Amino acid sequence: MDGNRRWAKNRFMPAALGHAAGAKRVREVVQACAEAGVTHLSLFAFSTENWKRPEDEVSSLMGLFMTYLQKEVASMNANGVRLRVLGDTQRFSEPLRELIADAQQRTAANQGITLMVCANYGGRWDMLHAVKSWQQAHPGQSLQALTEDALAPYLSTADAPEVDLLIRTGGESRVSNFLLWQAAYAELFFTDDLWPDFGADRLREAISWFGQRDRRFGSSAPL
């Protein structure tokens, strides 16, 4: 969800207001995905690299995350949204960790779209954490016994399908350490729209574009 800071800069606003505008866009996108039949939506909210940003910006992002969890859980329940937070949450404050745990518990039984918010997440971290978790679960086995199928249950997305469509806003053309394992065969849709300007219409355009792709998964014939 790139472009919050540039959106704010273009309007002579502080970065915090750009992030707040981006957070407001989430509800519309979640609803549009649900209406389109999408079962899982992953949002890259805060990467492992984002700690390098100015301290005041990181602090405002943490506060915004807390506010979002406090305000949106009731709406999620009303609309059948199941929330999962992916990433190393141990670096977050205890109040934020408590809000995350409470929000996930309160929405765990919902049967609609699953919203996966990636926070303090990185694709490399995910794979390394999965390998360590596998080895802890199989202390007597050599890494030579580890296969792709054996590792998959230890990834943070173990109960979710692999990524079909990856959308990058803000005019950037890279994946930036996002769901690297899971997006191995994802179709990549890049748009110049800054995230606070990315709405349901652009989402439907991306889904329509995805529907026209010839997905072969390495084979010679479309599936």
Given a cut of 60, whether residue 222 has pLDDT beyond it is no
Q: Was 6 annotated as part of a binding site?
A: yes
In a domain, 214, yes or no: no
- Residues 92, 64: contact at Cβ < 8 Å? no
Mean pLDDT of 36-52: 96
Measured CA to CA, the distance from residue 175 to residue 123 in angstroms comes to 10
pLDDT band at 217 (very low <50, low <70, confident <90, very high): confident
Q: Was 49 annotated as part of a binding site?
A: yes
Q: Was 205 annotated as part of a binding site?
A: no
Over pLDDT 70: what percentage of the chain? 98
Among residues 10, 50, 177, 201, the one annotated as catalytic is 50
Mean pLDDT of 15-40: 95
Active-site residue flag, 88: no
Active-site residue flag, 10: no
Q: Was 175 annotated as part of a binding site?
A: yes
Given a cut of 60, whether residue 52 has pLDDT beyond it is yes
Measured CA to CA, the distance from residue 207 to residue 210 in angstroms comes to 5
User: What are the φ/ψ torsions at residue 67 (nearest 5 degrees)?
Assistant: -60, -40
Structural domain range at position 180 = 4-209
In a domain, 9, yes or no: yes
Q: Whole-prediction pTM value?
A: 0.92
Give the model confidence (pLDDT) of 30-40 as tens digits: 999 999 999 99
Q: Look at phi and psi of residue 130 and say left if phi exceeds 0, alpha if psi is from -120 to 50, else beta.
A: alpha
Give the model confidence (pLDDT) of 180-196 as tens digits: 999 999 999 999 999 99
In a domain, 19, yes or no: yes
Among residues 2, 120, 126, 193, the one annotated as catalytic is 2
Total domains present in the chain: 1
Which CATH number is 178's domain given? 3.40.1180.10
Q: Was 219 annotated as part of a binding site?
A: no
In a domain, 87, yes or no: yes
In a domain, 57, yes or no: yes
Strand partners, 85: 117
In a domain, 162, yes or no: yes
In a domain, 71, yes or no: yes
In a domain, 101, yes or no: yes
